[in-house]
């Protein structure tokens, strides 16, 4: 797991905590809250260019408040 701090992230839409960009497995990325379990969907990528786009996409989703809170049953 690798954390990239080079993004402007809004506060967590759930708890106002800090969000951060998380890469997993070198092929997908999401934004996750450091305080609660809220996170965006994963976006997969293959190339460096797709990786950048994927990062921007999840940051955008996060900033729009489109997050999943896993302990809320829906
Ligand atoms: Zn949170």
CA–centroid distance, 35 to ligand 1, in Å, is 5
CA separation for the pair 69, 6 (Å, rounded): 24
Residue 50 lies in a domain: yes
CA-based max dimension of the chain? 35
pLDDT beyond 80 at 29: yes
Residue 74 lies in a domain: no
Residue 41 lies in a domain: yes
Question: Which 3 state secondary structure label does DSSP give 4?
Answer: strand
Q: What is the mean pLDDT of residues 27-43?
A: 96
Neighbour-count burial of 29, counting CB atoms closer than 10 A to its CB (0-12 exposed, 13-18 middle, 19+ buried): buried
Please tell me the predicted confidence (pLDDT) of residue 70: 73
Residues with beta carbon < 5 A to ion ligand 1?
A: 12, 14-15, 17, 33, 35-36, 38
CA–centroid distance, 19 to ligand 1, in Å, is 7
Please tell me the predicted confidence (pLDDT) of residue 53: 95
Residue 71 lies in a domain: no
Residue 73 lies in a domain: no
Count of the separate structural domains present in the chain: 1
- Give the pLDDT band (50/70/90) at residue 7: confident
pLDDT tens by residue, 40-49? 999 999 999 9
Please tell me the predicted confidence (pLDDT) of residue 58: 97
For 23, the domain range is 2-64
CA separation for the pair 32, 19 (Å, rounded): 5
CA–centroid distance, 70 to ligand 1, in Å, is 11
Residue 72 lies in a domain: no
* Neighbour tally for 48: CB within 10 Å: 8
């Amino acid at each position: 797991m690798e954390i990239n701090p080079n993004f402007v992230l809004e506060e967590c839409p759930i708890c106002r905590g800090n969000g951060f960009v998380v890469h997993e497995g070198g092929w997908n990325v999401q934004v996750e809250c450091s305080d609660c379990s809220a996170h965006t969907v994963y976006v997969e990528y293959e190339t460096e260019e797709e990786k950048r786009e994927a990062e921007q996409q999840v940051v955008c989703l996060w900033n729009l408040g489109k997050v999943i809170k896993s302990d809320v049953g829906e």
